[in-house]
């Protein structure tokens, strides 16, 4: 018995006239039904449509093979010092991956060379830039745990000026597997260190936790960019993040510092957003980027098209905001 059989039966049960001893009971019921045409969907039609869909083969979409680092387009300009920035906040859903994708793309469009390292097993940066994960044979997991050179996993020119070291779900095992490894906190630093001088910026998209992957990012990074969502409890967890930063700074990465605080999902119509901006500015002062990223539906739609906002909606508020942030990043040096 299929799903629809059950549905049909339920419908009948709930709308069936109550059985009465006399046939007279049925007449008013029939009249009533004729007066009020049914607004319920015709289950039989839906069933037929679904059966037709199921029997129609999907059109084969040609899948483009992934490019390798050797296919990288020649770099257009002289590269100075590489800045490694971890986009970090152990709080989930604050706009880390959205910022990583769109800041990378905005910097790329402004003529910078950017490597985006997807360090989150969710792989949101990879899918958000249209990487077909089923084609990835090796990802950042293999760099961290199987001594694969990072060049061997980088997909070049995923957007203008942007290369990506992608993540797949394999990376989820890294948190546990790294525990038993030697120099487990330094794996990413060693990998990324080899790429210094080849990019202007290396952006690392961190997972929403303070586990070993995030510690690897803290050790590999020169600076931290902390997105803070303009919502209730915006600063929740930030103290813990700053404590982790201080611990890593004192033992493993003495030059680590905050690069900037980025206010995300700002809604100018709400007093809450304004209060959060005031509170965060009071706490972090000039570290806060002057442009907040507005809440816009285009920013949440763009990843499903595998495009950064600068391609998906180049003239929109989200795109303009990330271009402003990219300008600030370049001017901060
Ligand atoms: N400025 C914005 N306006 C509207 N939607 C946004 C904006 N920024 C992010 N989003 C949406 O909010 C959700 C969370 O964003 P995102 O994935 O970037 O957060 P995250 O911090 O990387 O999350 P996680 O901690 O799970 O990795 C996503 O659905 C994203 O599309
Ligand atoms: Mg993310």
Nearest atom (ligand 1) to Cα of 99: 18
Q: Is residue 245 within 8 Å of residue 256, measured between CB atoms?
A: yes
Percent of the chain whose pLDDT exceeds 70:
79
> What are the pLDDT digits (tens) for 190-217?
999 999 999 999 999 999 999 999 999 9
Structural domain contains residue 156: yes
**pLDDT of 225 higher than 90:** yes
pTM for the whole thing? 0.82
Task: Return all residues near 72 (Cβ < 8 A) that are at least 6 apart.
Answer: 156, 157, 163
Residue 62 pLDDT grade (very low, low, confident, very high; cuts 50, 70, 90): low
Q: Would you say residue 94 lies in a domain?
A: yes
Write phi, then psi, for 86 (nearest 5 degrees).
Answer: -95, 130
User: Is 26 contained in some domain?
Assistant: no
Q: How far does residue 183's CA lie from ligand 1's centre (Å)? A: 32
Nearest CA to ligand 1 atom 8: 95
Percentage of the chain surpassing pLDDT 90?
71
Ligand nearest to C-alpha 317: 1
28 lines ligand 1 (CB under 6 A): no
**Nearest residue to 86 (alpha-carbon basis) of 331, 253, 319, 310:** 253
167 lines ligand 1 (CB under 6 A): no
The domain in which residue 218 lies consists of 82-332
Decide whether any atom of ligand 1 lies within 6 Å of the 119 Cβ: no
| Domains: count for the chain | 1
* pLDDT band with cut points at 50, 70 and 90 for residue 47: low
Rounded distance between C-alpha atoms, residue 161 and residue 311, angstroms: 13
Please indicate, yes or no, if residue 209 is contained in any of the structural domains.
yes
Q: What is the CATH number of the domain that holds 180?
A: 3.40.50.300
- 22 Ramachandran zone, left/alpha/beta (phi>0; psi -120 to 50): beta
Residue 178 in domain: yes
Tell me whether residue 60 is in a domain: no
Residue 265 domain-assigned (yes or no) = yes
Residue 101 inside a domain? The answer is yes
pLDDT, tens digit (0-9, with 9 covering 90-100), for 88-142: 999 999 999 999 999 999 999 999 999 999 999 999 999 999 999 889 999 999 9
């Amino acid at each position: 018995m299929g799903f629809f059989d059950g549905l049909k039966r339920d419908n009948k049960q709930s709308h069936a006239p109550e059985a009465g001893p006399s046939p007279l009971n049925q007449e008013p019921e029939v009249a009533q039904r004729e007066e009020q045409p049914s607004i319920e969907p015709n289950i039989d039609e839906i069933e037929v449509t679904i059966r037709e869909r199921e029997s129609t083969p999907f059109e084969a979409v040609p899948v483009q093979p992934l490019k390798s680092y050797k296919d990288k387009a020649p770099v257009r300009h002289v590269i100075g010092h590489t800045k490694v920035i971890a986009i970090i906040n152990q709080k989930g859903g604050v706009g880390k991956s959205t910022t990583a994708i769109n800041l990378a793309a905005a910097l790329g469009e402004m003529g910078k060379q950017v490597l985006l390292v997807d360090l989150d097993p969710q792989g949101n940066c990879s899918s958000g830039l249209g990487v077909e994960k089923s084609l990835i044979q090796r990802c950042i997991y293999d760099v961290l745990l199987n001594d694969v050179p990072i060049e061997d996993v980088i997909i070049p020119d995923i957007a203008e000026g942007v290369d990506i070291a992608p993540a797949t779900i394999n990376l989820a095992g890294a948190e546990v597997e790294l525990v038993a490894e030697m120099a487990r906190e330094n794996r990413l630093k060693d990998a990324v260190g080899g790429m210094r001088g080849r990019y202007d910026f290396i952006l690392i998209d961190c997972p929403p936790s303070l586990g070993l992957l995030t510690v690897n990012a803290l050790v590999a990074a020169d600076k931290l960019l902390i997105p803070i969502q303009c919502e209730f409890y915006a600063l929740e967890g930030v103290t813990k993040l700053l404590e982790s930063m201080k611990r890593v700074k004192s033992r493993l990465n003495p030059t680590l510092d905050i690069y900037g605080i980025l206010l995300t999902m700002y809604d100018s119509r709400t007093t809450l957003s304004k209060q959060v901006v005031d509170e965060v500015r009071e706490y972090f002062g000039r570290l806060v980027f002057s442009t907040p990223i507005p809440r816009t539906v285009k920013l949440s739609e763009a990843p499903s098209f595998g495009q950064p906002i600068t391609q998906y909606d180049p003239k929109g508020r989200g795109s303009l905001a990330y271009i402003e942030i990219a300008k600030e990043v370049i001017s901060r040096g």
